[in-house]
Amino acid sequence: MPSFDEVLKEAGEFGRFQKRVFFLLCQTGITFSSLFASVVFLGRAPGSYWCRIPGAAELSERCGWTIEEERNFTVLPLPLGNGSSSGQCERLDVVWDTSISCTSPLASYRNSSTSNLPLITCHNNWVYEQPHSSIISEYNLVCGNAWMLDLSQAILNLGFLAGAFILGYAADRYGRILIYLLSCLGVGICGIIVAFAPNFTVFLIFRFLQGMFGKGTWLTCYVIVTEIVGSDQRIVGIVIQIFFTLGIMILPGIAYLAPTWQGIQLAISLPNFLFLLYYW
């Protein structure tokens, strides 16, 4: 009985049908690479931020301050040498008399030496000039919580690992096309949930699942394009990597056009629903 490769040599090792399948599945590399490298833009530095003194929000609303005015009126300079002179991770443990003029609520403290005033670590009281611009400002991944940004990428990589084992086995057992389509559906749904996650725990859970399904799409499409061509055409397994690189090149343009991290997340997740059309 002839082998599959021998049959392909007679039927055509890289004909029109195989080229079409190859080109269509290569698009998966664009979305997968965007998912892989998206943390660079999802977790970009939020710009200027500071620690809000308790009661500042109420006073700011009563006085009609802008964000910049609130910072100028309520953030005192911290003593030099404490490692947090900008007031980002620590703040002076002070309060003010809200009945005084809105133009100088901390006047009594400005005339004294701040080195004699107690410091307190900031906890969930940060104010960002660009809120919701990244997951850092969304979930307060600053100062003592800065390590959680690396955790989010580690969780994604764990998803890749799980996807390689679970969905790789499932593709062998139940068919590559079925697992590919289910993985595309999973990436799209999990990507939407990640974009609107109410807290960081939910974000991590579905970030893991998106990584798992993302690996399923990339793994199965890679195997399909190398299996449907003859042995002399297995260079397609290298050519498909070009589209992975193309996705990384496109990602900065998406980040430039999307003003928030949710927009970036949706832009790299929603195209996976288009791959469901490959069923036909």
pLDDT, one tens digit per residue, over 96-116 is 555 556 666 655 555 555 556
User: What is the rounded CA–CA span in Å between residue 196 and residue 212?
Assistant: 19
**DSSP 8-state secondary structure symbol assigned to residue 139:** H
Among candidate residues 99, 129, 159, the one where a domain is terminated: 129
Kindly state whether residue 141 falls inside one of the protein's structural domains: no
Assess contact for 41 and 135: CB atoms under 8 A: no
Q: Assess whether pLDDT exceeds 50 at residue 82.
A: no
User: 127 or 98: which carries more pLDDT confidence?
Assistant: 127
Q: Assess whether pLDDT exceeds 70 at residue 137.
A: yes
Kindly state whether residue 102 falls inside one of the protein's structural domains: yes
For 203, counting Cβ atoms within 10 Å of its Cβ (0-12 exposed, 13-18 middle, 19+ buried), the class is buried
Q: Do residues 156 and 26 both lie within one domain?
A: yes
Among candidate residues 94, 129, 164, the one where a domain is terminated: 129
Q: Which of 48-62, 82-96, 233-247 is the least confident region?
A: 82-96
Q: Do residues 157 and 205 both lie within one domain?
A: yes
Supply the pLDDT for residue 216: 92
Q: Assess whether pLDDT exceeds 80 at residue 273.
A: yes
Quote the percentage of the chain above a pLDDT of 90.
Answer: 38
- pLDDT mean across residues, the chain: 82
Supply the pLDDT for residue 56: 72
- Tell me the three state secondary structure of residue 127: strand
Supply the pLDDT for residue 230: 64
- Highest mean pLDDT: which of 104-113, 125-134, 220-229, 249-258? 249-258
Kindly state whether residue 178 falls inside one of the protein's structural domains: yes
Give the structural domain span for 53: 49-129
Q: Do residues 185 and 223 both lie within one domain?
A: yes
Quote the percentage of the chain above a pLDDT of 70.
Answer: 79
Q: Do residues 167 and 257 both lie within one domain?
A: yes
Q: Do residues 81 and 204 both lie within one domain?
A: no
Q: Do residues 171 and 274 both lie within one domain?
A: yes
Q: Give the pLDDT mean for 114-128.
A: 72
User: Hey, what are 280's tokens?
Assistant: 């036909």
Count up the domains in the chain and report the number: 2
User: 40 or 57: which carries more pLDDT confidence?
Assistant: 40
Q: What is the CATH number of the domain that holds 242?
A: 1.20.1250.20
Asked whether the CA dihedral 151, 156, 159, 160 is positive or negative, the reply is negative
User: 45 or 57: which carries more pLDDT confidence?
Assistant: 45
Supply the pLDDT for residue 84: 47
Q: Do residues 67 and 187 both lie within one domain?
A: no
Q: Do residues 218 and 255 both lie within one domain?
A: yes
Q: Do residues 219 and 203 both lie within one domain?
A: yes
Kindly state whether residue 275 falls inside one of the protein's structural domains: yes
Supply the pLDDT for residue 157: 95
Rounded to a whole number of angstroms, the CA Rg of the chain reads 26
**CA separation, residue 244 to residues 36, 44, 88, 188, 240 (Å):** 10, 22, 38, 18, 7
Assess contact for 254 and 264: CB atoms under 8 A: yes
Q: HSE on the CB side for 237, CA within 13 Å?
A: 14
Q: Do residues 97 and 208 both lie within one domain?
A: no
Q: Do residues 54 and 114 both lie within one domain?
A: yes
Kindly state whether residue 24 falls inside one of the protein's structural domains: yes
pLDDT by residue (tens digit) across 169-222? 998 899 889 999 999 999 999 999 999 999 999 999 999 999 999 999 999 988
Supply the pLDDT for residue 100: 57
Q: Do residues 192 and 101 both lie within one domain?
A: no
Kindly state whether residue 139 falls inside one of the protein's structural domains: no
User: What is the rounded CA–CA span in Å between residue 85 and residue 78?
Assistant: 5
User: What is the rounded CA–CA span in Å between residue 178 and residue 185?
Assistant: 11
pLDDT by residue (tens digit) across 140-180? 888 888 899 999 999 999 999 999 999 999 988 998 899 99
Supply the pLDDT for residue 85: 44
